Amino acid sequence: MGLFDKLKSTFKKDKNGAQEYEVGLTKTREEFVSKLNILGIKYTKINDDYFDELENILISADIGVGTVCKLLDRLRSRVKEEHITNSKELNEVIVDEMFMIYVGNDQLSDKININPDGPTVILVVGVNGVGKTTTIGKLAKKYVNEGKKVMLIAGDTFRAGAVEQLKIWADRSGAEFYGKDNSDPAGVIFDGLTLAKEKKTDIVLIDTAGRLQNKTGLMAELEKINRVIAKHVDNAPQETLLVIDAATGQNGISQAESFKEITNITGIVLTKLDGTAKGGIVLAIKDSVGLPVKFIGLGEGIDDLKPFDIESYIYGLFKDMM
């Protein structure tokens, strides 16, 4: 059974696991699948013109030029090897190949690395305006709901209102909080982690500044923060998550590349995926920078940040064809 048939069968039986994806990816699906369907009507035979138009459709979904070229090469090979002649059959192959491009040969680490011997420290980075602080608040609520003791530490100490904004999210989510305005970020994080250990905290979420314009300064700051964290907790931070606004499209890839140069990113959080028709950025990020997506934002509510699941994502994109 191919992936297309497997997803169709699985989600007919249990739609609960993919319902949020189905709703959250509506804009991308309506744009993407409707164009694929029109393409299938327009071309009764698969030829070079079909592939040219398919390329434009894939790029418009923000899958990225490099990833699209790789995908088209795979599709052309399979059309030739499997003697595929009609577009409906090819659509099923597109589903398979998009999945394989994401998974590749990697052992995907889309789960959070939990520290069994003390607090799990999650450092959160990203440029200003992508929803970084909101993401931290939603992650806090998720872990509080799971019965974890959570602390938020405000490492973005100089941006006006940043510390207070994080404190509000701590109160909303039921998490502990530590922060000081206009203080050395590494010093605040040192004191916050001391308190977190005293309180036997399970999960520590640390906010950071989003000044990517001065990469050298930000690199030095993050290196200092990482040293401070490692002094407190062995092998920490367990995760460094980069938050990207899905609506920024290929600019999000640039952000991922830049942050990957200056610190050890372990995963991506894609916010506002429900508000864009360019949901293909999930594939582009994994293929371009080799980083797994760990969470996606599928709404504005506090419970709308979901752990990423590639099969639910593919189903959310192609549901109308199944």
The CA–CA distances, whole Å, from 268 to 79, 80, 160 equal 33, 36, 26
Instruction: List, in order of start, the domains of the chain with CATH numbers.
Output: 3-107 (1.20.120.140), 120-308 (3.40.50.300)
**pLDDT digits 0-9 by tens, 244-278:** 999 888 888 999 999 999 999 999 999 999 888 88
Q: Tell me which residue of 147, 110, 124, 132 sits closest to 229, measured CA to CA.
A: 124
Q: In which band, very low, low, confident or very high, does the pLDDT at 40 lie, cut at 50, 70 and 90?
A: confident
Average pLDDT value for the chain: 89
Distance, in Å, from the CA atom of 132 to the CA atom of 212, rounded to the nearest integer, reads: 14
What are the CA-CA distances from residue 38 to residues 25, 35, 122, 279 (Å)? 20, 5, 45, 20
CA geometry: angle 200, 206, 209, nearest 5 deg? 160
pTM for this model (two decimals):
0.91
Each residue of 187-239: pLDDT tens digit?
Answer: 999 999 999 999 999 999 999 998 777 788 888 999 999 999 999 999 999 99
For 213, which DSSP code? S
Find the mean pLDDT for residues 28-39: 88
Q: Which two tokens stand for residue 75?
A: 């599709």
Tokens of 267: 């995963």
* Predicted local distance difference test score (pLDDT) of residue 12: 57
